[in-house]
Structure 1
Amino acid sequence: MVTVDADALSHVLGAVDLRVGIGRRSSLAAGALLPIPTDTITLVYIVAGAVRGHPPLGDGCRLDVDPDSRRLRLDSTEARHDLLVTGDAFLTLGRSPFALEAHDETILMIADIELADVASPLPALLPPFLTVTGFDAVEPAAAALALNMGVIDHTVTPARQGDPVICRLMATTVLLSVIRAWAANGCAPTGWPSLSSDPFLDRVVDAIHEEPGRDWTVERLAGIGAMSRSTFAERFRSAVGRSPADYVTEVRVDAAKRMLDAGRSVSDISRELGYASDEGFSRAFRRRTGQTPSSWRLANRTPVPA
């Protein structure tokens, strides 16, 4: 069984921040198919019944909990290997078309997840999908939250101020608990949670996140990674999927969003993030988001809980 360093796991979980995480309850008749959206992270908790995956869920690493002994085991070969039942949890990153088929009358709690930091390394650290069978036994507190992760039906009960905020916090807790159960009990691959299996590149990524406003030239980043400029640029793009400059900009824009949410002025943000002028910061922000910083703040203002 692969063990994961507790500090490394805590670092990964502590960096996860959701912008959207509102659940919905879905009832399926036996044999019904539920397509799961692509290009988004989807968290599913089986409230009642059972579902199979298309393609089969057995293709991925599974964490199983014996219902009698409560002992953990990996990669069960039992007949229900591809069947998720009441109390199980499932996470997909939406990298390819996928659907769930109800084995019998089934109720699911589903949360569509959007990370607040688009440059977050989390998607690169996880497999296309992961399952935790017996999630309610491994993480009973999080499973209890999952049962009530969705906003109350407004046609039955009027929406309360702050519901989206509370639901996002609940979805965050459940998501982190699913990842922790998967990683801490032997499903994570050797070397996890390294982004690139390259400690030199990981050191560069950490430095960018710690100081997004620093003057990050390729030469300076290559020096942190102990590589030549050309070698670093090629290895970074191959491992992270974008150029160093693009990654720095993404990290800065995500940091700017958090500062705008906190009420910081555009001038303060532009200076802290290393831009020579407010205009330069606004242009970079608009290229990434399609909005000026001020417009983005107005459009994304979070309601204050009652």
Structure 2
Amino acid sequence: MVTVDADALSQVLGAVDLRIGIARRVSLDEGALLPVPTDRITLVYVAAGGVHGHPPLGEGCRLDVDPGSQRITVDSPIRRDLLVAGDALLSLGGSPFALEAEGDTSLMVVDLELADATSPLRALLPPFLTVTGFDALEPAAAALAENMGLVDPASCPVRQGDPIICRMMAQTVLLSVIRAWAANGCAPAGWPSLSNDPFLDRVLDAIREEPGRDWTVERLAGIGAMSRSTFAERFRTAVGRSPADYVTEVRIDAAKRMLDAGRSVSDISRELGYASDEGFSRAFRRRTGMTPSSWRLAHRIPVPA
């Protein structure tokens, strides 16, 4: 069974930020097809019935959970195309496929959009992943998933704060699916390495541990035991962006967590190595489209009237 470092998993989950999370409930008759979009991230929870893939979902990781003891048995890899009530599927898009209903089926489907288009989530996860027995592994998140989709969204008036609440609900379910997949032995060996390169992993770890340090290319190359030119080329090839862009990404992800914790903009800008509050705010806005203060307000849980 492959185990995942708890701190590494926390870093992955903490970096996920949704801009949109729209849920809907879909009822399918036996044999009906539900196309899964190729241009967005889609989360599917099987509330009743079952589905199989076209093309088949292929080899994956099956998690068998004993209801009494909560003991988890992992069979990986195993060919299991059929997903049944209580299972979850996450598709990152890219390859067209559809789900076909096995009998009368009810699905909760969430269309997701990341707040940061350069998020490493797509690089860290396979094109799609399945979590069997999600309802047993994450009962609270499964209950949330089963009840968050409207049968007819057009018939339900939008109340103040609903988009924020829906996005937060969708993010909770998404993070729970990723955590269940990774923490229970379905992640591949070495996950969540972005680079599959121990020297570059050492660099990435250093950036995440000290995001506010003055990270020059020379300093990072030294940590990776490479020349400046070799490091820059290997980094961009493996991670898909420049070292400077990755440092900014890590800093903004850290800033979001600090804003959630109630830290002031001045404290955050100093800790993350920015020369001024204005410089930090400009970098944050370029990355998220919002000022730090606006982002904090948008992500605050609304207080019921």
TM-score by length of 1: 0.78
How far has the Cα of 1:150 moved from its partner?
A: 3.2
Report whether the alignment pairs 1:3 with 2:31: no
Q: In structure 2, do the counterparts of structure 1 residues 114 and 106 end up closer, same or farther at CA, with 3 Å as the change threshold? A: same
Aligned residue in 1 for 2:73:
72
What residue is the counterpart of 1:89 in the other structure? Answer: 88
Deviation at 1:117, TM superposition (A): 4.2
- SS of equivalent to 1:73: strand
Distance 1:118 1:220, change over 3 A: farther
C-alpha change, 1:110 and 1:243, in structure 2 (3 Å) is same
Deviation at 1:65, TM superposition (A): 1.8
Contact 2:41 2:93 in 1 (8 A): yes
How far apart are the structure 2 equivalents of 1:257 and 1:141?
A: 25
Residues 63 and 182 in structure 1, CA contact (< 8 A), matched pair in contact too: no
Give, in whole Å, the separation in 1 of the partners of 2:215 and 2:186.
36
Instruction: Report the residue type matching 2:164 in the other structure.
Output: V
Contact 1:282 1:293 in 2 (8 A): yes
In structure 2, the partner of 1:246 is: 245
The whole-number CA distance in structure 2 between the counterparts of 1:168 and 1:67 is 32
Note the residue ranges of structure 1 that are not aligned, 5 or more in a row.
none
Report what 1:216 is aligned to: 215
Report the AA paired with residue 174 of structure 2. L
CA distance in structure 1 between the aligned counterparts of 2:199 and 2:228, rounded to whole angstroms = 13
| Matched ranges for 1:90-239 at <5 A | 90-150=89-149, 155-209=154-208, 212=211, 214-239=213-238
**Aligned-pair distance for 1:286?**
7.8
Question: 1:88·1:135 contact (CA, 8 Å) conserved in 2?
Answer: yes
Task: Call closer, same or farther: CA 1:288–1:6 in 2, change over 3 Å.
Answer: closer
AA matched with 1:138: L
Sequence identity of aligned pairs in percent? 73
Gaps in structure 2 of 5+ consecutive residues: none
Which stretch of the first structure deviates more once superposed, 38-47 or 240-249? 240-249
Change (3 A) 1:115 1:305: farther
Alpha-carbon offset, residue 141 of structure 1: 1.8
Residues 274-295 of structure 1 deviation map (CA, whole Å, 9 limit, x = unaligned): 6678998788778767x6869x
Q: By how many angstroms is 1:134 displaced?
A: 1.8
Q: Is the 8 A contact 1:213 1:274 kept in 2?
A: yes
